[in-house]
Amino acid sequence: MQAVRYARPSSVEEAVDLLEQGGDRARVLAGGTDLIVLARERRIDVDLFVDVKALEPLTAIRYDPADGLAIGAAAPCYRIAADPAVQEHYPCLIDCATLIGGVAIQGRASLGGNLCNASPAGDGIPALIALGTTVEIAGPKGRRTVAAEAFCTGPGRNVLTSGEFVVALRAPPPSDRAGAAFRRFIPRGEMDIAVTNAAVHLRFDGDRVASARVAVGAVAPMPLLVEEAGAALAGTPLSEATIAAAAAAARAAARPIDDMRGTVKQRRHLAGVLVTRCIRIAAERAGVQP
Amino acid sequence: MTEAAGTRRIVVEATINGEPQEFLADERDSLLEALRDRIGLMGVKEGCNNGNCGACTVILDGRLVCACLVMAAEVEGSAITTIEGIASSDGLHPLQQAFLEDAALQCGVCTPGFIVAAKALLDVNPHPAEDDVRLWLAGNLCRCTGYDKIVQAVLDAAGDGKESA
Amino acid sequence: MVTAEKPYKVVGTRPIRPDGTDKVTGRANYGADIRLPGMLYGRVKRSPIAHGKIKRIDASKALALPGVRAVMTAEDLPRKGRREFAPLGSVKISLATLSGNVMARDKVRYEGHAVAAVCATDPHVAEDALDLIEVEYEELPPVLHADEAMLASAPLIDEELHTREMATGESAEEPSNVAMHFVTEMGDVEAGFAEAEIVLERSFKTKMVHQGYIEPHNATAFWRHDGGLEIWCSTQATFVMRDHLAGLLEHPVSKIRVTPQEIGGGFGGKISVYLEPLAAVLSRKTGKPVKMTLTRDEVFRATGPTSGTAIRVKLGAKRDGTLVAAEGELVYEAGAFPGSPVAAGVRCIFTAYAIPNQRIDGYDVLVNKPKVQPYRAPGASAACFATDSVMDELAERLDLDPIALRLKNAAVEGTRSADGAAFGVIGNRDCLQAIQSSPHYRSELQGPNRGRGVAHGYWYNAGLESSAYASVNSDGTVALVLGSPDIGGTRASIAMQLAETLGIPAERVIPQVVDTDSVGFTSVTGGSRTAFAGGWAAHEAGLDLRQQLAARAAKIWGVEAEQVRYRDDAVIVGPAGEDGGERSITFTELAAKLARTGGMIVGRADSNHASAAPTFATHVVDVEVDPETGKVEILRYTAAQDVGTAIHPSYVEGQIQGGVSQGVGWALNEEYRFDEKGRMENASFLDYRMPTALDLPMIETVLVEVPNPGHPYGVRGVGEVPIVPPLAAVANAVHAATGHRFTELPISPAAVLEKLLPGEE
How many whole angstroms from its chain centre is CA A48? 25
Mean pLDDT across the stretch A37-45?
95
Judge contact between C124 and A39, C-beta under 8 A: no
Phi, psi of B106 (to 5 degrees): -120, -80
The CA distance from A274 to A216, in Å, is: 9
Q: Compute the residue count for chain C.
A: 761
Please report, for residues A99, A198, A260, B49, C449, the alpha-carbon distance to residue A194 in angstroms, rounded to integers and kept in the order given: 10, 10, 12, 21, 23
What's residue C113's pLDDT?
98
Q: Interior CA angle at B17 toward B12 and B18, to 5°?
A: 90
- Give the torsion sign (CA, C146, C150, C155, C158): positive
Residues of chain C neighbouring A262 (CB-CB closer than 8 A) = 750
A42 — alpha (psi -120 to 50), left (phi > 0) or beta?
left
Judge contact between C478 and C545, C-beta under 8 A: yes
Contacts of A132 (CB under 8 A, 6+ apart): A147, A148, A171, A172, A201, A213
Pairing state between β C509-513 and C478-482: parallel
CB contact under 8 A, B50 and A5: no
Per-residue confidence at C1, pLDDT binned at 50, 70, 90? Answer: low
CATH 3.40.50.300 fits A5-51, yes or no: no
* Residue A215 scores a pLDDT above 50: yes
The CA distance from C738 to C732, in Å, is: 10
Per-residue confidence at B110, pLDDT binned at 50, 70, 90? Answer: very high
Q: DSSP string of C239-271?
A: HHHHHHHHHHHT--GGGEEEEEPB----TTTTS
Measured between CB atoms, does B132 come within 8 Å of chain C?
no
CA atoms within 13 A on the CB side of C526: 25
Q: Which of C184, C291, C188 is nearest to C233 (CA)?
A: C291
Find the closest chain A residue to B70 by CA distance.
A32
Compute the count of residue pairs across chains B and C with CB atoms less than 8 Å apart: 213
The CA distance from A39 to C272, in Å, is: 32
Which stretches within A6-53 are classed as H helix? 12-22, 35-40
Please report, for residues A42, C495, C583, the alpha-carbon distance to residue A20 in angstroms, rounded to integers and kept in the order given: 22, 65, 92
Judge contact between C376 and C719, C-beta under 8 A: yes
Of C687, C694, C753, the CB nearest to A261: C687
Q: Which of B108, B104, B103, B137 is nearest to B120 (CA)?
A: B137
* Residue C297 scores a pLDDT above 60: yes
Find the closest chain B residue to C15 by CA distance.
B101
Measured between CB atoms, does C675 come within 8 Å of chain A?
no
What's residue A290's pLDDT?
67
What's residue C461's pLDDT?
83
Per-residue confidence at C3, pLDDT binned at 50, 70, 90? Answer: low
The CA distance from C104 to C114, in Å, is: 6
- Kindly report which listed range (C180-184, C377-381, C754-758) carries the lowest average pLDDT score: C754-758
Measured between CB atoms, does B37 come within 8 Å of chain C?
yes
CB contact under 8 A, A107 and B138: no
Cβ neighbours around A67 below 10 Å, total: 12
Judge contact between C461 and C529, C-beta under 8 A: yes
According to CATH, the superfamily of the domain at A181-285 is CO dehydrogenase flavoprotein, C-terminal domain (3.30.390.50)
What's residue B160's pLDDT?
57
* Residue C367 scores a pLDDT above 50: yes
CB contact under 8 A, B50 and A41: yes
The CA distance from C718 to C720, in Å, is: 6
Structural domain boundaries in chain B? 9-85, 94-159
Q: Where in chain A is the domain with CATH 3.30.465.10?
A: 61-171
Tens digit of pLDDT for each residue in A113-157?
999 999 999 999 999 999 999 999 999 999 999 999 999 999 999
Mean pLDDT across the stretch A227-252?
97
Residues of chain A neighbouring B139 (CB-CB closer than 8 A) = 101-105, 190-191
Q: Where in chain C is the domain with CATH 3.30.365.10?
A: 309-461+613-756, 466-608
Q: CATH for C309-461+613-756, among 3.40.50.720, 3.40.50.980, 3.30.465.10, 3.30.365.10?
A: 3.30.365.10
Per-residue confidence at C93, pLDDT binned at 50, 70, 90? Answer: confident
Q: Which of C343, C369, C379, C376 is nearest to C211 (CA)?
A: C376
Continuous segment of H or E residues that includes residue C286 = helix C276-286
Q: Where in chain C is the domain with CATH 3.90.1170.50?
A: 34-140+215-264+270-302
* DSSP code of residue A24: G
Tell which B residues from 58 to 77 touch C, by Cβ distance under 8 Å.
none
How many whole angstroms from its chain centre is CA C241? 16
Q: Compute the residue count for chain A.
A: 290
The CA distance from A212 to A247, in Å, is: 13
Tens digit of pLDDT for each residue in C495-548?
999 999 999 999 999 999 999 999 999 988 887 788 899 999 999 999 999 999
Find the closest chain B residue to A76 by CA distance.
B63
Per-residue confidence at C464, pLDDT binned at 50, 70, 90? Answer: confident
Min Cα–Cα distance to chain A from C596, Å: 59
> What is B9-85's CATH topology?
Ubiquitin-like (UB roll) (3.10.20)
Checking ipTM against 0.85, whether it exceeds it is: yes
CB contact under 8 A, C262 and B107: yes
What's residue C612's pLDDT?
82
Q: CATH for A61-171, among 3.30.465.10, 2.40.50.180, 3.10.450.50, 3.30.420.40?
A: 3.30.465.10
3-state percent breakdown (helix, strand, coil) of chain B, nearest 5:
40, 20, 45
What's residue C540's pLDDT?
96
The CA distance from C152 to C709, in Å, is: 49
Contacts of C341 (CB under 8 A, 6+ apart): C306, C307, C332, C372, C374, C375, C378, C379, C380
Tens digit of pLDDT for each residue in C244-269?
999 999 999 999 999 999 999 999 99
Q: DSSP string of A124-143?
A: THHHHHHTT-EEEEEETTEE
The CA distance from B69 to A99, in Å, is: 18
Residues of chain B neighbouring A105 (CB-CB closer than 8 A) = 51, 66, 69, 139
What's residue C405's pLDDT?
98
The CA distance from C740 to B22, in Å, is: 62
CB contact under 8 A, C651 and B106: yes
Per-residue confidence at C4, pLDDT binned at 50, 70, 90? Answer: low
Mean pLDDT across the stretch A92-96?
96
Task: List residues bridging with C327 in a β-sheet.
Answer: C314, C359
Find chains touching chain C: ≥3 CB pairs under 8 Å.
Answer: A, B
Per-residue confidence at A190, pLDDT binned at 50, 70, 90? Answer: confident
CATH number of B94-159: 1.10.150.120
* Residue B165 scores a pLDDT above 50: no
CB contact under 8 A, B139 and A103: yes
C720 noted as active-site residue: yes
Mean pLDDT across the stretch C28-33?
97
Considering the domain C466-608, what is its CATH architecture?
2-Layer Sandwich (3.30)
The CA distance from A223 to B65, in Å, is: 28
- Residue B164, SS3? coil
> What is C34-140+215-264+270-302's CATH topology?
Aldehyde Oxidoreductase; domain 3 (3.90.1170)
Min Cα–Cα distance to chain B from C21, Å: 7
Q: Interior CA angle at C579 toward C576 and C581, to 5°?
A: 40
Pairing state between β C699-704 and C632-642: parallel
Q: Report which residue type is found at B80.
A: I
Task: List residues bridging with A209 in a β-sheet.
Answer: A204
Min Cα–Cα distance to chain C from A186, Å: 9
Judge contact between A161 and A198, C-beta under 8 A: no
The CA distance from C520 to C543, in Å, is: 17
Active-site residue among C720, C744, C754, C760? C720
Q: Which of C530, C551, C391, C389 is nearest to C467 (CA)?
A: C530
- Give the torsion sign (CA, C125, C126, C130, C134): positive
Per-residue confidence at C325, pLDDT binned at 50, 70, 90? Answer: very high
Of C297, C695, C750, the CB nearest to A262: C750
Indicate which of B17, B114, B116, B143 best probes the interface with C, i.e. most C CBs within 10 Å of its own CB. B143
Task: List residues bridging with A183 in a β-sheet.
Answer: A198
Tens digit of pLDDT for each residue in C164-187?
999 999 999 999 999 999 999 999
The CA distance from C483 to C512, in Å, is: 8
Pairing state between β A48-51 and A5-7: parallel
Query: Exposed, middle or buried by CB within 10 Å (0-12, 13-18, 19+), for C482?
Result: buried
Mean pLDDT across the stretch C644-665?
97
Tens digit of pLDDT for each residue in B16-69?
999 999 999 999 999 999 999 999 999 999 999 999 999 999 999 999 999 999
Per-residue confidence at C609, pLDDT binned at 50, 70, 90? Answer: confident
